[in-house]
């Protein structure tokens, strides 16, 4: 890793504090919308660094905002800090070893994600003070990326309406700026209401809500053959109507998660799923109620910001992993299959190699796969110019949401990747704040997109508050 931009000195000056913050968040994994320790730690860090802090953003108790600077463009840097259930794992151990049986763990690296983003924001604040340039930096502590879609609720509340540029990142096995592709998604509960009856003496008088749920699920399974290949529909029975088989179930709920490449295709698919629900209700003489719980728009790219971010990564070079990092990565890879490792390359559209930890910065837009998930960063990208990079933090072949990723979450390699990402984000922020042409190009591109896609609330959230413990 090279240090040439003045702002990177500010990242180095603060980095050790944010390694410690990342490790503290790792030590206290919290699920979506329950990240009270993490939000408190990030709030304390922001206050200590001289940011003006707002807690309970958009009436979400674990969403926070810290701002510094004066006048000029406003740069937002997004952080996350939620964990995942059933991924408790000891750090630095290359075998499955839960700390707490059935406990939670940071299987997506969000302990690193929030800490690096906050480190970048601190560096930008110090750089602004040093240079005297007009400009503001705002750190968003965003809870519940894992299924809770908190950023979509922040968008609905107008939290990004005054932002000029949004910057974020994600831990990964590779480093680069990816094509801005993700699946738009929406999470819906279908609750069927029927009529209870004795299942043996008077079954003809009952109208089974559970039958309706099962028929709906069968119908959606048949739909899969007739929807775009990139679309997805997943489901879970939330309420099966009780535990007594001798009672015709009067009420039952199934949750469906509908995904597609863009909002238009997603909403079209949602309507087809709703028709299947209506058909199931008709067949069982029940009544169905539909409630949207959350949603995420597909990512919208910004070529100007993506190119500038890539140039920062190229100037930085690799994270600078050492022999000790490679030794632990080799131990982790020994717990993986050849398919895991090959899949890791394929998932990012890269040729298979023999790396333990990746030092390469891949070509612009050359590190994303055909396979896609969903992210609530997508919703933010519909209301402000947004860019996201990946930074190598763990062994090649490590899968997201795995004990292997949790095991590497406090490693020196993770710290190096964290600092690397912070430098890339801070460097880009400095570019935007010091180059009016770059900012103008980014905003012009976004304005053209908005003229064609004028959504104030792109994922149509109608619920009053986010749902804890969603499943994305």
H or E element: which one contains 187? Answer: strand 184-193
Rg (alpha carbons) of the chain, rounded to whole number: 23
CA atoms within 13 A on the CB side of 461: 26
Q: DSSP character for 395?
A: -
First-to-last C-alpha distance (Å) of the chain: 35
Sign of CA dihedral 340, 345, 347, 348: positive
Confidence of residue 3 (pLDDT cuts 50, 70, 90): low
Does residue 369 register a pLDDT over 60? Answer: no
Give the residue among 312, 278, 344 at the shortest CA–CA distance from 429: 312
Lowest mean pLDDT among 67-76, 80-89, 256-265: 256-265
Q: Please name the residues in contact with 48: beta carbons below 8 A apart, sequence gap of 6 or more.
A: none
Does residue 335 register a pLDDT over 70? Answer: yes
3-state secondary structure 102-147: CCCECCCCHHHHHHHHHHHHHHHHHHHHHHCCCEEEEEEEECCCCC
Q: Point out which residues pair with 443 in neighbouring strands.
A: none
Give the pair of three-digit tokens for residue 127: 């750089």
* Percentage of residues of the chain with pLDDT beyond 90: 86
Cα distance between residue 296 and residue 376, in whole Å = 5
Write down all domains in the chain, each with its CATH number in brackets: 6-181+299-452 (3.40.630.10), 184-295 (3.30.70.360)
pLDDT tens by residue, 339-359: 999 988 888 878 888 999 999
pLDDT tens by residue, 385-408: 999 999 999 999 999 999 999 999
pLDDT of residue 472: 40
pLDDT of residue 252: 98
Question: Average pLDDT of 407-433?
Answer: 98
Question: Average pLDDT of 71-89?
Answer: 98
Question: Average pLDDT of 412-431?
Answer: 98
Question: Average pLDDT of 14-21?
Answer: 98
CB atoms inside a 10 Å sphere around CB 227: 18
| CB-CB contact of 221 with 273 (8 Å) | no
Does residue 470 register a pLDDT over 70? Answer: no
pLDDT tens by residue, 94-112: 999 999 999 999 999 999 9
Give the residue among 360, 425, 369, 372 at the shortest CA–CA distance from 396: 360
Average pLDDT, the chain: 93
Cα distance between residue 418 and residue 171, in whole Å = 8
Confidence of residue 469 (pLDDT cuts 50, 70, 90): very low
């Amino acid at each position: 890793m090279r240090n040439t931009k003045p702002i990177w000195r500010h990242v180095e000056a603060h980095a050790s504090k944010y390694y410690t913050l990342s490790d503290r968040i790792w030590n206290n994994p919290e699920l979506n919308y329950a990240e009270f320790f993490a939000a408190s730690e990030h709030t304390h860090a922001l206050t200590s660094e001289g940011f003006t802090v707002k807690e309970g953003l958009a009436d979400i108790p674990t969403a926070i905002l810290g701002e510094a600077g004066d006048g000029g463009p406003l740069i937002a840097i997004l952080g996350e800090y939620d964990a995942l259930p059933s991924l408790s794992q000891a750090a630095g151990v290359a075998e499955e070893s839960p700390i707490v049986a059935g406990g939670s763990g940071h299987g997506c690296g969000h302990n690193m994600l929030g800490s690096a983003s906050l480190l970048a924001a601190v560096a930008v604040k110090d750089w602004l003070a040093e240079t005297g340039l007009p400009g503001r930096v705002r750190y968003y502590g965003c809870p519940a990326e894992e299924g809770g879609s908190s950023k979509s609720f922040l968008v609905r509340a107008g939290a990004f309406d005054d932002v000029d540029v949004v910057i974020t990142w994600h831990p990964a096995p590779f480093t680069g700026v990816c094509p801005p592709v993700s699946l738009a998604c929406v999470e819906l509960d279908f609750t069927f209401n029927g009529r209870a009856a004795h299942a043996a003496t008077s079954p003809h008088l009952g109208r089974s809500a559970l039958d309706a749920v099962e028929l709906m699920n069968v119908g959606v399974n048949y739909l899969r053959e007739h929807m775009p290949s990139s679309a997805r529909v997943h489901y879970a029975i939330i309420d099966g109507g009780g535990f007594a088989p001798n009672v015709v179930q009067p009420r039952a709920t199934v949750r469906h998660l509908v995904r597609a490449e863009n909002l238009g295709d997603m909403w079209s698919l949602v309507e087809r799923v709703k028709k299947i629900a209506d058909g199931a209700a008709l067949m069982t003489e029940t009544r169905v109620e539909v409630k949207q719980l959350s949603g995420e728009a597909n990512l919208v790219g910004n070529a100007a910001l993506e190119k500038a971010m890539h140039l920062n990564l190229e100037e930085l070079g690799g994270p600078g992993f050492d022999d000790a990092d490679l030794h632990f990565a080799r131990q982790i890879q020994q717990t993986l299959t050849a398919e895991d490792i090959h899949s890791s390359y394929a998932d990012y559209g890269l040729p298979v190699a023999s790396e333990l930890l990746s030092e390469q910065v891949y070509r612009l837009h050359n590190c994303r796969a055909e396979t896609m998930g969903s992210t609530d960063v997508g919703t933010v990208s519909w209301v402000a110019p947004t860019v996201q990079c990946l930074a190598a933090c763990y062994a090649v072949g490590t899968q997201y949401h795995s004990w292997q990723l949790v095991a590497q979450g406090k490693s020196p390699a993770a710290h190096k990747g964290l600092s690397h990402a912070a430098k890339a984000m801070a460097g880009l922020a400095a570019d935007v704040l010091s180059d009016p042409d770059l900012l103008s190009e980014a905003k012009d591109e976004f304005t053209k997109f908005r003229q064609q896609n004028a959504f104030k609330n792109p994922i149509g959230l109608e619920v009053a508050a986010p749902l804890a413990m969603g499943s994305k």
